[in-house]
Chain A
Amino acid sequence: MSLAEVQRGTPPANKRAQALSIRGLNKWFGSNHVVKDLNIDVAPGEFLVLLGPSGCGKTTGLRIIAGLEIADSGGVFLGDTDVTQVLPKYRDIAMVFQSYALYPHKTVAENIGFPLKVRKVAPAERDAAVRDAAAQVHMEELLERYPRQLSGGQRQRVALARAIVRRPSAFLMDEPLSNLDAKLRGYMRAELKHMQHELGVTTVYVTHDQVEAMTLAHRVAIMDGGVLQQIGSPREVYDNPANRFVAGFMGSPPMNFVEGEVSSGRFESHGVSLPVAANGNSAVAGGRAVMGFRPEDAEIVAPGTGLFDATVYAAELTGDVTLVTVNVGEESLSVKMPKEYDVDFDSTVAVRFPLERGFLFDAGSGQRVDGAFV
């Protein structure tokens, strides 16, 4: 088979990026229902991030797309093709593993060329393609090295090159940056985004790191307990979280939550009392509710001048901001203040934030009540 046949039309490759959809996917491991009725449509050339805590079913979902696991019900479609029952090798999908899964006994060049070798591409064409792919990840110099002689970042690049060398219809990536140190991770993140943009290949990316999700994704799909919680652009998910889980998962430090009750138009908790709009008042079943606000929306002010008073527990300078932790009743809340801000521990202060930036969630279902604060 010729290289052209494998790559089916050389760049610009985005012309042949395929849409990817998952319909009604269910997967059990024994009695454990790990993926529950998952429906996702990925547009051609889109970068979709599957985000969630460990054990939420995101990796299983990815492996089902790759064909490494078989769903108990539901289907996987690549373009117009139903690939649910197709072996991974016929799916035209490339995958980057968390461990990179480089073949330790093969050189970098042999690793990158492996997908072409097994497709019996002629050696000359193969070499050219390997060189091309290696150049794309800046690894041309190290083609004769073995994986064990490479640094973590270089291994990562080899894994990427092995994925792009055959120009697949879709990329799958399983936490590819999690084994790198923080600095390198930031750099590779930018590079990954650039490369995906350039190749224009449909990409599904699994991570538990919300920063990666925010920065990389065109759209983020957030999963918990095998259930898709919300799917949307990073901004949408950040500004309009569908429920308490999504709200708490996006953002760093996470959103502050205060548990309390809603009755006769007010949200009441220990030391907190806020007015609630009419639709918020009626939507919360049984009155139990959770109020939330983001640390970056709030500020610390003099006692009595804010929405509620609180006691300073600790103040930490993180570099660009000072993170102040305050206690209100049983709850511990964090507020981002300018880096010049300083405050005595155990002193009494007040917390203030624009009320329309507050969120209200039903304590039972966790669903967000739209427009609860105005």
Chain B
Amino acid sequence: MTLASPNAAAGNGTVRRGFFEPSRIGELSPGGKLVVYSILLIWSAFVLFPLYWIVITSFKLPISVNSGPAYIPWVDFMPSLHAWRDLFDTSPQSPLAETLKPYRNSVIVASFSTLLCVLVGSMAAYALARMEYKPKFGTILLFVLILIGMVVLVGVGGVDWRIAVAVGLALFVLLARALSRYFKRRIGNGDILFWMISQRILPPVVTVVPIYMMFQSVQLLDTHLALILTYTVVNLPIVVWLMHDFFAGIPIDLEESAELDGASKLTVFYEIVLPLARAGLAATTLLVLILSWNEYVLALFLSTTNAQTMPILVAAMNGGEKGILWWSMCVVIIIMIIPVILMALLLQRFISKGVLLGAVKG
């Protein structure tokens, strides 16, 4: 029972307080301070120590790594730049000779897929937020059924896929016209949005083998294009979901008044909507960028040598006859982390402003 009756406060003007009770609103009690700051410091250490260890290991000579733990540069070991020099050494002996190419691949794949994804995704999100779609449930079912039929034909029947696509398309158009008056149930924007989001439930491993075979059949395996396309699609639901929320939050009056002023839909989108959704756009871009930059499973399946991205390279450094070259590994990890952290610091005020919150509230 911590409640002191107000009578107890009479006279001397002070109230007996517990160790964990603040003296005033908006401040922490001594006990609270102790607990809060210890938690903050412990967690900071937990977060920062692995990063610190990676950084110092990248400056260690093999001998300093193999002779047991050395914690502080210049005290426990002499820092050296040898691992970093390997990065720019293209001779075959250098353990990092092959680094720059995957790095370039990663930059290309991540930036292009992010660009494409945000572009397509934000337009789709805007359309979902502002226009009414009422496709008939039956039509969609028909489309999916015909798709299944086509796949079975191509896969099991051995029909040329071009013929199958043509036949399937023709069949779909004909049947859709003929049957459309029997289809009563319609689905709304909410259903489309929910279906898009539900795509995230799909484990990538379920779809990656067919995607692998698909790209193989069109000879796009191990190219930038294959990765860019795949990443774009995988991340599209996130973009649509996050951006939908932002667009929905923009007062429609603004757009309507712009349209009354004579602006076209496209002008409204570029002049009014995009600038207003800038914060959301920034956060979404960063998120998608991080996801495609760090993506591992899909790249593992879809790229081998030419389009190999950084995560694959890092993972491949596991092993070898000399064991893991930790110093080189750390260099690679660091150059992978730096661009993302720079971007994040740049955009952090957008992110911390509860950007993700709106979307999660649903």
Residues of A at under 8 Å CB distance from B?
1, 5, 67-70, 78-92, 119-120, 169
Contact of B198 with A by CB under 8 A: no
Which of the candidate stretches B18-26, B297-305, B340-348 sits at the interface with the other chain? B18-26
> Within 8 Å CB of B13, what residues of A?
81-86
A70, A81, A85: the one within 8 Å of B6 (CB): A81
Contact of B266 with A by CB under 8 A: no
A80, A88, A119: the one within 8 Å of B10 (CB): A80
**Do B15 and A90 touch across chains, with their CB atoms under 8 A apart?**
yes
**Do A87 and B25 touch across chains, with their CB atoms under 8 A apart?**
yes
What is the predominant secondary structure among interface residues of chain A facing chain B? loop
> Within 8 Å CB of B24, what residues of A?
67, 70, 85, 87
> Within 8 Å CB of A86, what residues of B?
6, 9, 13, 15
Question: Shortest CB–CB separation between residue B182 and chain A, in angstroms?
Answer: 41
> Within 8 Å CB of A1, what residues of B?
1, 3
17 pairs of residues in contact across A and B, judged by CB atoms under 8 Å: A1-B1, A1-B3, A69-B25, A78-B6, A79-B10, A80-B11, A81-B9, A84-B13, A85-B14, A85-B23, A86-B6, A87-B24, A90-B3, A90-B15, A91-B6, A120-B1, A120-B3
> Within 8 Å CB of B15, what residues of A?
85-87, 90
Contact of B260 with A by CB under 8 A: no
**Do B25 and A90 touch across chains, with their CB atoms under 8 A apart?**
no
Chain B's closest residue to A75 (CB) is B13
**Do A68 and B25 touch across chains, with their CB atoms under 8 A apart?**
yes
> Within 8 Å CB of A78, what residues of B?
6
Question: Shortest CB–CB separation between residue A118 and chain B, in angstroms?
Answer: 8
Could you list 4 further interchain pairs (A-B, Cβ under 8 angstroms) beyond the known A70-B25, A81-B10, A86-B9? A78-B6, A80-B11, A85-B23, A86-B13
**Do A90 and B4 touch across chains, with their CB atoms under 8 A apart?**
yes
Chain A's closest residue to B4 (CB) is A90
**Do A87 and B21 touch across chains, with their CB atoms under 8 A apart?**
yes
> Within 8 Å CB of A89, what residues of B?
3
Chain A's closest residue to B5 (CB) is A5
A68, A83, A119: the one within 8 Å of B9 (CB): A83
Question: Shortest CB–CB separation between residue B249 and chain A, in angstroms?
Answer: 20
For the complex, give the distance between the alpha carbons of A102 and B22 in Å.
25
**Do A90 and B10 touch across chains, with their CB atoms under 8 A apart?**
no
B3, B11, B21, B26: the one within 8 Å of A119 (CB): B3
B1, B5, B11, B22: the one within 8 Å of A87 (CB): B22
For the complex, give the distance between the alpha carbons of A149 and B26 in Å.
32
For the complex, give the distance between the alpha carbons of A92 and B7 in Å.
10
> Within 8 Å CB of A67, what residues of B?
24-25
For the complex, give the distance between the alpha carbons of A80 and B15 in Å.
15
Within 8 A of A (CB), among B1-56: 1, 3-6, 9-11, 13-15, 21-26
Question: Shortest CB–CB separation between residue A57 and chain B, in angstroms?
Answer: 18
Chain A's closest residue to B14 (CB) is A85
> Within 8 Å CB of B5, what residues of A?
5
For the complex, give the distance between the alpha carbons of A120 and B2 in Å.
11
Question: Shortest CB–CB separation between residue B14 and chain A, in angstroms?
Answer: 7
Q: Interface 1/0s, chain B 150-182, versus A by CB < 8 A?
A: 000000000000000000000000000000000
For the complex, give the distance between the alpha carbons of A88 and B27 in Å.
13
For the complex, give the distance between the alpha carbons of A67 and B15 in Å.
14
> Within 8 Å CB of A120, what residues of B?
1, 3
